[in-house]
Structure 1
Amino acid sequence: MYKVIAGKHLVEDHRNTFTNLALSSLLSMAELDRPKVMNRKRPRVLAFVVDAVCSVCKLPDVAEKVVRQAERRYGLARCGRCCELLVVAYCRAGMFADACSLWNGMEKRGIEPGAAAYEEIVVTLFKNNRIPDAMKVFDGMRRRGLSAGGGGACYHAVVSWLCKEGRTWSAFMVLAEMVKRGVEVDGEVLGDLVYGLLARRRVREGYSVFHGVKEKDIALYHGLMKGLVRIKRAGEATEVFREMVTSGCEPNMHTYIMLLQGHLGKRGRKGRDPLVNFESIFVGGLVKAGRTLEATKFVERTMWGGVDVPRFDYNKFLHYFSNEEGVAMFEEVGRRLRETGHVDLGDIFLTYGERMATRDRRRRAMNGRLTAVEDYSCLSSSQESEARSV
C-alpha cells in the first residue's frame, strides 16, 4: 500500500519536473529580452516543445499543461500543429477520451485537424472495434479535401483494417478511390488486400491481384505468404518464398518466422521421424545454446499436458544460432529434414543458414551477390518426390 502511494507521488514529481523543464526551455528559447523576436518565435518554440514532450517523453498530459500555461502567461493561442501532436500522442498513449475532447475543442476553435490526426483517430477507432465511427471520421476527411497528399496514410490504414475485418468489397472501393484521386498505392496496401482475400478463401482472386503487380516488393510477398499460412497452405507459401528469393527480393527475419510457424505451428508439432521433429531440433537447440530454462518448460509440457507453457519464440531461437556455429547447425538440420521428406522445412533452414545466419552473409545477400537459392532448394517438395519416383 505504501509502495503504491510512494510510486504515485514519484510519478507526479517526475511529471511536474518535466512540466517545469518544458516551460524553462520555452522561456529560454523565446529570447524574452528581445520583444520583437519574442512574438515571432514563441509559437514555433511552443510547437517544438510540445513535439519533444509528446514524441520523446511520451507524456501528452504534460504537454497539455505546458500549452495551457503558455496560453495563460503569454497569451499564445493553440496552433493546429500543437493540437495535432497532442491528438496523436493521446491516441498512442491509450488516452482516447482525452483525444476526443481535444478533437471537439479543435472544431469549436475552428482549427482544422491535419492528416496525421485523422489517421491516428481512424486507427484508434478501428482498434476499439468502432468501425462505423471510424468510417464516419474517414468520410469527414474526404469531404474536407485532405485525401490527397498527406491523407494517403489514412487511406492505407483504412484498407488494412477493412481487410483484417473481412470487408474486402469495401477495401476494393477505397482502393479504387485512391487510384482515382491519385494517391500512391504501394505494396503494403496490395499485400493487405491479398491477405484479406486469402483469409476469406478467395484464393484465385488473391493470386490475380498478386500476379497483376509488375514490381513486387517484400510487403506484397508477405501478404500472400501470410494468407496462405492462414488457410493451412504452408507448402504453397514456401513456393512463394522460393520465387521471392529467385526474383531478387531479399527476405527478412519476419519471413522465416512466419514460414516456421506455418509448418510447425506456434506451439510446435511432432514430426514423423523421432530423430527430426520439433523437440529434437528446437528444444535440443535451446539446450545446446545454454537456454535450459526455456527447454525445461517444453519438456514439462510434453510430460504434463496440464501445464500452461508460453508459445515457442522462433525469433529468439534464430537469434541464438545467428553465428558461424549456427551455419553448420542449420545446414545439418536442413539436409536431415530433406532426407526424411520435409523438403519445404529443410529449404527454410538451409536458406536461413546461407543468407541470414551471420552479418557477412546478410550483407552479401542484400548486395545482390546471392540472387538465387542454392541447388538444394531449387526443387519443390512435389518435384523432388517425382524425381525420386523416377
Structure 2
Amino acid sequence: MITMRFLFMKPLLNSFSHRQHHRCLCLLTTESSQTYPSSPSPVNEDHLLRVCTVLFQQQDSSDFKLRNKLSSIDFNLTHEFFLQVCNKFPASWRPVHRFFQYTQQMPCSRFTHTSVSLNKMLDIFGRSRNLDLLWGAVQEMAKRGLVNDKTFIIVLKALASARELKKCAEFFHFMNEHGCEYRVERLNKVVENLCKGKLVEEAKFVVLKLKDWIRPDGVTYGWLVKGFCDVGELIEASKIWNLMVDESIEPEIEVFEKMMETLFKRNEYDEALKVFQTMRVNRMDDLALSTYRLVIDWMCRKGKVVQAQMVFDEMRQRGIQADNSTLGSLVYGLLTRGRHAEAHKVVERIEKTDISVYHGLIKGLVRSRRASEATQVFREMINRGCEPTMHTYIMLLQGHLGKRGRKGPDPLVNFESIFVGGLIKAGKSLEATKYVERTMKGSLEVPRFDYNKFLHYYSSEEGVVMFKEVGKKLREAGFVDLADILQRYGEKMATRERRRRRSELVNGSE
C-alpha cells in the first residue's frame, strides 16, 4: 500500500445559501416512454429563421399574440426543429422557454419531448443563470422519468457555477427519491465534468457532502486531485491525496503522473522525483511508457541528461519501447549539453521519424545557437513529408531573431521593418507602438515579442504577398534561411485559409 503522504492544512468548507422558491415548468405532453428519432429529419431553414425571428421580437409579448404569430408560420415541428431553435439562442432562456410552452399548447401535435430536447433546454437555462426555471424544469423531468446522466451534469454544472452548493447536494437527494438512486458512477461523471470546467472546489464540496450516501472511490478522488492540480492548488490536491491514503485507496498511475507534472511545473524538481521513486518502490509493475516519458522529458528540460539516460535504460530493460516523443526529448537534452554526435545517433536509429523528433532537434539546435542547422532540419522534415506546425515556425524565428527580435545589418530587413511594420499593416498599431517606444528608450528592456500573434495575423492571402516581399529582401541581404522560413509559412497558411473557405462554401451550399 502506498504510504506516501503530503503535508496539508485542515480543509475549510463554506456553506452557501440557496433560493427557497422556484417556478414550476409543466411538461404537458412529455411521456416517460421516449421514442428517439433514428435520424434527424431535415429542417426548413426558411421556416426556422421565421420562427426564431418571431421568438426574438415577441419574447416579451403576451401568450395570445406570440401564439398567433407562430401559428401563422406553417412549420413542421420535429425533434430536430426544436433543437435547432435552441441552437439559435444558446444563452437566452426566454425565447426557448416561450417556444417550449408553445409546443405544449399546439393542437393535434404529435411531437413529444425527449431527454435530449429537455437537456438542451436545461443547458440554456443554466447558461443564462435562470436557476429557478432550471430547478422547476428538472423536477418535472424527474417526475416523468426523463432524467439521465447528462441531466445530472448539466444541472450540477449550472448550480456549481452559481455557487448554489447546498442545492447541488439537494439535487442528488431529490433524484434518489424519484428513481435515480445514489450511484458512485454517476457522481464520478459529475465530478469529472466539474473538474474539467475548473469547478473543483465545488466538486469537492459535493463529494464530501454526499459522503454518507455515496462512498467515493479512487476515480472520484483521482478527478479531484487532477482538478486541483490543473488550477494550481497543490496543497488542496495533497489533502485529497492524504484522504485517499487514510481510506486505504491506492491512487491510479495517472494521478501520480499529474502530481509529478504539477510539481515539475512549479519547479519542485526534487519533490516530483520523490513521487517517482515512491512509484518505483511500491508499484514498479504498474509503471508504463507515459510515466517514463513524463520524467525523461522534464529531466531533459532541466539539463539532467545523465539521469534521463538512466531512466531511459531502466525503461528499455523492462521491455518498454520508447516512442518518438520520448526520443525527441532525449535528443533535445543531448543537444543542449553539447553532445551532438550522441543526439544524431539516437535520431539515426529511429525507423520512422515524426514531428516530435524534428522538434527535439530544432529546439535543441536553437538552444545551442545553431539556427542555421535548425533551418536545415526544417527543410529536411518538409522534404520527408512532415508538415511543420505553428510551434515549428516560432522556434525557428526565435532562433534567428531572438525572443525579443534583433536588428540586422540591412535597415530593410531588420526586426522593426519586418515585424513592427507588419503589425502596423495588420492594424495592430498599439502592439507595434509598445515595441517602438521601448526600443527607442535604451534604459527600458524590450519586451518579448509575440511571434505567435504576429504569424496568426498574417495567416491569410495577404500574408503570402507580405512574406514573399519580405523574403525577397531577406535573400538580397543574405538571410536565406529566414527567407525560406517566412515564405514557406505564408504559402502554407494561405493554402489552409483557402481550404477553410472552400469547406465553408461547400457546407453552406449543402
TM-score range, shorter chain: 0.7 to 0.9
* Structure 2 Cα separation of the partners of residues 21 and 235 of structure 1: 62
Higher alpha-carbon deviation: 63-72 or 12-21: 12-21
Structure 2 matches for 1:146-225, cutoff 5 A? 148=286, 151-225=288-362
Aligned match of 2:469: 332
Match of 2:394 among 248, 257, 261: 257
- Output the CA distance in 2 between the equivalents of 1:257 and 1:162: 23
1:44 to 159, 164, 185: 185
State the number of aligned residues. 345
For the pair 1:357 / 2:494, whether they are aligned, the reply is yes
1:18 CA drift (Å): 4.5
Q: Counterpart of 2:79?
A: none
Structure 1 residues 23, 183: CA separation in 2 closer, same or farther (over 3 Å shift)?
farther
C-alpha displacement of 1:290: 1.5
Residues 1:84 and 2:222 are matched in the alignment = yes
Are residues 1:239 and 2:385 paired? no
Q: Does the 8 Å contact 2:297/2:326 carry over to 1? A: yes
**TM-score for the superposition, normalised by structure 1:** 0.82
Check 1:33–1:303 CA distance in 2 against 1; reply closer, same or farther (3 A cut).
closer
Counterpart residue number, 1:341: 478
State the match for 1:377 in structure 2: none
Give the TM-score, by structure 2 length: 0.63
Q: Which residue does 2:281 correspond to in 1? A: 143
Partners of 1:12 and 1:246 lie apart in 2 by: 63
Between 240-249 and 283-292, the greater mean CA deviation after superposition: 283-292
Could you tell me which runs of 5 or more consecutive residues in structure 2 were left unpaired when the two chains were aligned: 1-13, 19-159, 501-510
CA distance, structure 1, for counterparts of residue 245 and residue 461 of structure 2 = 60
Q: Sort the Cα spacing of 1:67 and 1:226 in 2 relative to 1 into closer, same or farther, 3 A.
A: same
Please give the per-residue CA displacement for 1:80-124, whole angstroms capped at 9, x wherever unaligned: 111111111112222211222221221121101001110011112
Q: CA deviation at 1:24?
A: 4.5
The Cα of 1:302 is off from its aligned counterpart by 3.1
Q: Would the alpha carbon gap of residues 357 and 313 (structure 1) be closer, same or farther in structure 2, given more than 3 Å must change? A: farther
Cα distance change of structure 1 residues 49 and 302 upon mapping to structure 2, 3 Å threshold: closer
Question: Deviation of residue 223 (structure 1)?
Answer: 0.8
Question: Distance between the aligned counterparts of 1:199 and 1:325, measured in 2?
Answer: 37
SS at match of 2:494: coil
- Tell me which of the two structures has the higher relative contact order, counting C-alpha pairs closer than 8 angstroms and 6 or more residues apart: 2
User: CA 1:198–1:236 in structure 2 vs 1: closer, same or farther (change >3 Å)?
Assistant: same
Q: Once the two structures are superposed, what CA deviation does each residue of 1:245-294 show, in whole Å capped at 9, x if it has no partner?
A: 00000001111111011001111111111222111111111121121112
Q: C-alpha displacement at 1:145, in angstroms?
A: 3.3
2:177 to 29, 32, 40: 32
Task: Measure the CA separation in 2 of the matches of 1:12 and 1:245.
Answer: 60
Spell out, residue by residue over 1:305-342, the C-alpha distance to the aligned partner (whole angstroms, 9 max, x if none).
12344221111111112211211111121122112211
Q: Is residue 227 of structure 2 the alignment partner of residue 227 of structure 1?
A: no
After superposition, residues 69-148 of structure 1 pair within 5 angstroms as 69-72=209-212, 74=213, 76-145=214-283, 148=286
Structure 1 distance, partners of 2:430, 2:177, is 60
Aligned to 2:196: 55
Shift of 1:68: 1.3
Change (3 A) 1:281 1:87: same
| Structure with greater proportional helix content | 1
Residue 165 of structure 2 aligns with which residue?
Answer: 19
Q: Runs of at least 4 residues of structure 1 off by over 4 A?
A: 11-16, 146-149, 360-363
User: SS of the residue aligned with 2:163?
Assistant: helix
Partner residue of 1:64 out of 204, 221, 228: 204
- Cα RMSD (Å): 2.4
How far apart are the structure 1 equivalents of 2:355 and 2:285?
26
Note the C-alpha offset of 1:169. 1.6
Q: Which residue of 384, 396, 403 corresponds with 1:266?
A: 403
| Cα 1:127–1:315 shift into 2, 3 Å | closer
Question: What is the deviation of 1:48?
Answer: 1.5
1:147 and 1:200, CA in 2 relative to 1: closer, same or farther beyond 3 A? farther
Pair 330,28 (structure 1): closer, same or farther in 2 beyond 3 Å = farther
Residue equivalent to 2:130: none
* Equivalent position amino acid for 2:289 in 1: G
Match for 2:199: what amino acid? L
8 Å Cα contact 1:194/1:227 also seen in 2: yes
